[in-house]
Amino acid sequence: MTDVDAGPVLSGRTPFGLLSAGNGQFWPDTPAGLARLAEAVPETDRRTVRQLARQVAELAADPANAERAARGRAANSLQPGRPLVWLDEVPWHEFAGADLDLSCQSGLAREVEEVLRRVIYRWRHFPADVYVEPFFRVGKAVDETGIGLAVTDDILATDPGNPVVSHHYVDQLPHEAALDKTREPVATARPDIDAAICAAVSELLGGELPVELHGHQVYAPTWDDISALRGIENCLIDLLDRPDFTHSIVARLSHYTDVRMTQFEAQGLLDFDLANIHSTPPWADGLPAAGFSGDVRLQDVWYRSMAQLFVSASPAMRDEFDLQYARPLMARCGLVYYGCCEPLDTCMEYLRTIPNLRKIGATPWANIPSLCEQSGPDYVLSHKPNPAHVAMRFDPAVVEAEITQVVEACLEYGCPYEIVLKDISTVGGNPDNLTSWTTLVESVLDRYY
């Protein structure tokens, strides 16, 4: 079981992508080490986790789950209706209380306990349309070598408990010679770790909640990677001053993504049955694709990408320096979700050239009526309300106006859509802001559906 912002949990080594150096492990990377970890769980921890697992299983059996999944599948299959409302990237470091305080002593039990407690808390306090899976999700373990470069940055944090921090990146690709230091990434599946983790978690849960092993989505944030390797200012300057060098960087990293995608497919590391696609509902008709026989192929999965840096460049430059490299990769996958925090209402003529495009990010900084008019019934709009509206003082009038505009524009132009509040770096220490936001958004939707 995982809530919508957890992603694959308890993976022996998590797939961070091209910049990973194979060191994202949560647990010992040998089956014997994992077995010793499981044996160290005290009986009191087992009782605590199993009691929580029973509660989660009861939530998963609620008929609301099936109804929510059906609405999410309908929207992603271009059938307009009442949108799902999800909340993701919650600032859990600002939440406290008996409902969330961990009581288990062992590391394995505490990891599972945290996931289960957050699921229950969300359901009770800001459920929206959260989907509770009827199993505990374990992500497939994978070792990755990375591409030979590592991000070097200076970090400024105002809250030591907040994972959202300010970065000043040191340029790792100042010239052509630095690009020659990169290498093709190598991904290696770890079925031995998968088996050991699933066995340990299954024993811990004691049959109260089944354990399922799942693969990963294709996530290719090429320009996020380039920005982290170079810094935003360097990237923007070189779009104009050194376009050939910039093309070389994008071409190299896109090739590495292609290599990584092929390796994940060959080693059975992909999945279409996801907890979410970067914070949004994953279900869609057509996935898996025709001819599926059990081995997940690239054509069975979502491709997820964005190029946020191009909010400061022209739509034509987005096409030249991002989309022309991404299109061949996107064509390998069944469906494509493009866009994140960058407004895309000026880019639709180029977005329509994306093969298999199904979902478009609709940031609060986009012209939403224009984006709806241009996309019409052809694409799902993943609307991201402004998280600043829950950051400090909750203002109902501001939130109501924002959501009303989105609902009316989508209805006017026949757009399938979803509402996903994410990037919530803070609620100002007041978790009730999320409860108030959820209640208000649902009341606005009640007026139209």
CA distance 291 to 80: 28
CA 28-29-32 angle, 5° bins: 75
| Selected residue with higher pLDDT from 448 and 9 | 448
Across 356-375, average pLDDT: 97
* Maximum pairwise Cα distance, the chain: 64
CB 387 within 8 Å of CB 426: no
CA distance 370 to 384: 16
pLDDT band at 207, cuts 50/70/90? very high
Backbone phi, then psi, for 402, in 5-degree steps?
-65, -50
Q: DSSP for 33-102?
A: HHHHHHHT--HHHHHHHHHHHHHHHHHHTSHHHHHHHHHHHHHHTT---SPPEEE-S--GGG--STTT--
pLDDT at 7: 40
| Selected residue with higher pLDDT from 153 and 446 | 446
* Res. 24: pLDDT tops 90: no
pLDDT band at 117, cuts 50/70/90? very high
User: Would you call 299 helix, strand, or coil by DSSP?
Assistant: helix
| pTM tops 0.85 | yes
CA distance 281 to 66: 13
* Res. 27: pLDDT tops 80: no
* Res. 120: pLDDT tops 50: yes
Whether the CA torsion 310, 315, 321, 322 is positive or negative: it is positive
Give residue-wise pLDDT tens across range 374-410. 999 999 999 999 999 999 889 999 999 999 999 999 9
CB 60 within 8 Å of CB 133: yes
Give residue-wise pLDDT tens across range 159-177. 877 778 788 889 999 999 9
CB 37 within 8 Å of CB 107: yes
Across 321-327, average pLDDT: 98
* Res. 336: pLDDT tops 60: yes
